[in-house]
Amino acid sequence: MKTSQLEKGCLLIDCRGFDEKTINLFLAPGPDPYRETEEFLLDCEMRADELPRYLRRALLEFQLYSNSEGILLLRGLPVDPGLDHTRTPALAQRSEEKTTFVSERCLAMIGSRLGHLVSYIQEKNGDLFQNLVPTPGSEEVQSSEGSRTRLQFHRETVFHPHSPEFLLLFCLRPDHDRVAETTYASIRHVLPLLGERERELLFEPLYRTGIDYSFGNRQALINGPILPVLYGRREDPFWNYDEDLMVGLTPEASLALEALRKGSTLSTEASSWKQGICSVLTIAAPFTDGLPSLPATMASTAGSSAHLWCGISAFRQGIAIPVSASFAPPSQQMMRPKLPSMGSRSVSEDPEKFADFSAIHSSSP
């Protein structure tokens, strides 16, 4: 089994020893992920069934149990040919010069072992595969478009009622200076640094968060829902946290939030970006009672990323889909994410419940 333990339990899977048959699973042409989305996702699931047993086993174990860091690194995955001569796509749009879909296939194949691919209508027009690149004019912005400031710690889409459970990042091309990195912190390392009263307060709905900038919120308002920071099992919880967009609603809650921020800083680890590296983060869970408790991780980016080019996708294990604030009957629960641009129906939240921040979701029966 070609795996090794990194410091403090972060699992690394070395994919550089793939044989020709396995490499061709990623490289062989197939459906277009943007024009034939349904066929592309089905094709990727079928290809993933042929991945080496040790890789499928590692991904299954990570889906079920995660690890103490809540992050899994896959090194040496195949990449699209000619990327060294491909210009960075402007404004994080889809590159017209990149005519192969190896990176998309890597994300979809790896992610298919974890859940179903999801996207959000407001974020990059609902693209299932998104480009993360520095955007001119947004260098100091607290979003994936920034490049000159540290992206503060956050768990993905804290404000949204249906956050992804796993987040996948795939490096197509590292920055020129090789200094860009993702820093991350696991709640399992932060929790022991908090006092008993601080933990109690963080489990209470005493915190308001804001809507992400990438969802169109340019007013920098704390205009999201009120929610607890910690949830799930008291001894091994998940967390809702956004360093930039979250505030405590009482003085005592604010102090507990500051203690969490300090604990996160003290528990920080980092992963640098190299071409062909895929990072898988455990970030949320829709339910916790009766399920294995997974260490939830949050992340940020640091260092110069002036030429960093990453692909990103989010996955959920699937729950019933809210349609007009009601749950779809079981016969309608087997659904795939479909882009509005394809003319397929999308699923949105009740506007009275969640403004106009709707989402595309998939579910399992």
Q: What is the pLDDT of residue 145?
A: 64
- Regions of the chain where pLDDT drops below 70: 1-10, 91-92, 138-149, 218-220, 283-312, 315-365
Q: What is the pLDDT of residue 175?
A: 77
Instruction: Quick: pLDDT tens for 301-310.
Output: 444 344 455 6
Q: What is the pLDDT of residue 212?
A: 78
Q: What is the pLDDT of residue 141?
A: 67
Q: Which domains does the chain have, with CATH numbers?
A: 3-181+269-298+308-354 (3.60.130.10)
Instruction: Quick: pLDDT tens for 272-285.
Output: 778 888 888 876 54
The owner of tokens 């796509």 is: 89
Q: Identify which of 34, 31, 35, 58 has the alpha carbon closest to the alpha carbon of residue 45.
A: 31
Q: What is the pLDDT of residue 206?
A: 97
Q: What is the pLDDT of residue 246?
A: 92
Q: What is the pLDDT of residue 36?
A: 95
